[in-house]
Amino acid sequence: MADFWRRFRRNRGAVVGLVILLLVCAVAAFASVIFPGSPWDMATAPFTPPGEDGMLLGSDSLGRDVAAGIAHGARISLMVGAVSTLASLCIGVSLGALAGYLGGWVDDAVMRFTEFFQTIPSFVFAILLVAIFTPTITSVVFAIAVVSWPPVARMVRAEFLSLRSREFVQAAEVLGKSRLAIVVTDILPNALSPIVVLSSLMVASAILLESALSFLGLGDPNLMTWGFLIGSGRSVIRLAWWMSVFPGLAIFLTVLALNLVGEGLSDALNPRLARKRGGAA
């Protein structure tokens, strides 16, 4: 563990990313302490510029505090990012493990299925799913999970293919362990580090996808989100630039932080690769 942390720390960007990420998490956790009351309530006159009237980041067309909206939106963004990534990991890992371990026609079938999902334009498909199952937080998470599992399945399959024929797996087979036990206790732990790296990037893209959906008006109508804030600032951008600038910065910082952390994780978990990259970069 100490070794892991030492390698992670060597990547300066990753440390900066981790700090930003922790800050965003803190804002999300303490949103109702810093900004008590509902972010939907009117707090001041409409279109108050940033810094005036106690509004740190200005107010929107209905006099709502933009800063409060961003703080409360952080919860939704992080939650959607985490839950939809977990869901797509479940789909991707099980399908990838199935294909990689069993091989043969199962592998063929699963890979065709995966290819199909990789071929269809994912964003259009996500829009369609949310629109048809009516926009709620559940349907948004579901849609994001459905369009983002294929890379996981492909990667897990590749890992399983290469691990399946290794000696420790053969040993477990000879010992008479059940297939399920071998997959879960022998192969999966060895395939974990690329899954961890990939999932930090998936949380980042899930947050981007969620913001895009709610920008188009496909967010849960009862929840304040970053995408919704930008969407409502779009038509009044000439009048109130702060309404769309600040929520966008929040998305940018969070996604950037997640990407940086992902790179750090990859360096720390695959030291050989990191040194090679370090030599080149």
Asked if 244 touches other proteins (CB under 8 A), the answer is: yes
Cβ closest to other proteins, residue 163 vs residue 223: 223
Asked if 132 touches other proteins (CB under 8 A), the answer is: yes
Among 53, 121, 192, 273, binds other proteins (CB under 8 A): 121
Query: Which residues inside 23-62 make contact with other proteins, applying CB under 8 A?
Result: none
φ/ψ of residue 65, rounded to 5: -75, 120
206, 81 Cβ separation under 8 angstroms: yes
Among 204, 261, 265, 269, binds other proteins (CB under 8 A): 204
Asked if 20 touches other proteins (CB under 8 A), the answer is: no
Asked if 127 touches other proteins (CB under 8 A), the answer is: yes
Query: Which residues inside 76-115 make contact with other proteins, applying CB under 8 A?
Result: 115
Asked if 273 touches other proteins (CB under 8 A), the answer is: no
Sign of the CA dihedral 163, 164, 170, 172?
positive
Instruction: Please give the structure tokens belonging to residue 186.
Output: 């022998």
Instruction: Please state the closest distance from residue 60 (CB atom) to other proteins, in A.
Output: 15
Inter-axis angle of helices 192-215 and 66-102, to 10 degrees?
140
Quote the CA–CA distance of 169 and 239 in Å, as a whole number. Answer: 64
Asked if 245 touches other proteins (CB under 8 A), the answer is: yes
Asked if 227 touches other proteins (CB under 8 A), the answer is: yes
Cβ closest to other proteins, residue 79 vs residue 172: 79
Asked if 232 touches other proteins (CB under 8 A), the answer is: no
Phi-psi region of 177 (alpha: psi -120 to 50; beta: other; left: phi over 0): beta
In the chain, the amino acid numbered 221 is: P
Which residues, in sequence order, are CB contacts of 39 under 8 Å at separation 6+?
A: 64, 65, 68, 69, 71, 72, 73, 224
Measured at the alpha carbon of residue 8, what is the angle toward residues 274 and 83, in degrees to the nearest 5?
105
Asked if 123 touches other proteins (CB under 8 A), the answer is: yes
Instruction: Please state the closest distance from residue 242 (CB atom) to other proteins, in A.
Output: 11
Quote the CA–CA distance of 179 and 227 in Å, as a whole number. Answer: 45
Instruction: Please give the structure tokens belonging to residue 54.
Output: 């106690």
φ/ψ of residue 178, rounded to 5: -75, 160
Site string for other proteins, 163-202 (x = CB under 8 A): ----------------------------------------
Quote the CA–CA distance of 240 and 50 in Å, as a whole number. Answer: 10
Instruction: Please state the closest distance from residue 240 (CB atom) to other proteins, in A.
Output: 11
Sites of contact with other proteins (CB under 8 A): 115-116, 119-125, 127-129, 131-134, 204, 208, 211-212, 215-218, 227, 230, 233-234, 237-238, 241, 244-245, 248, 251-252, 255-256, 259-260, 280-281
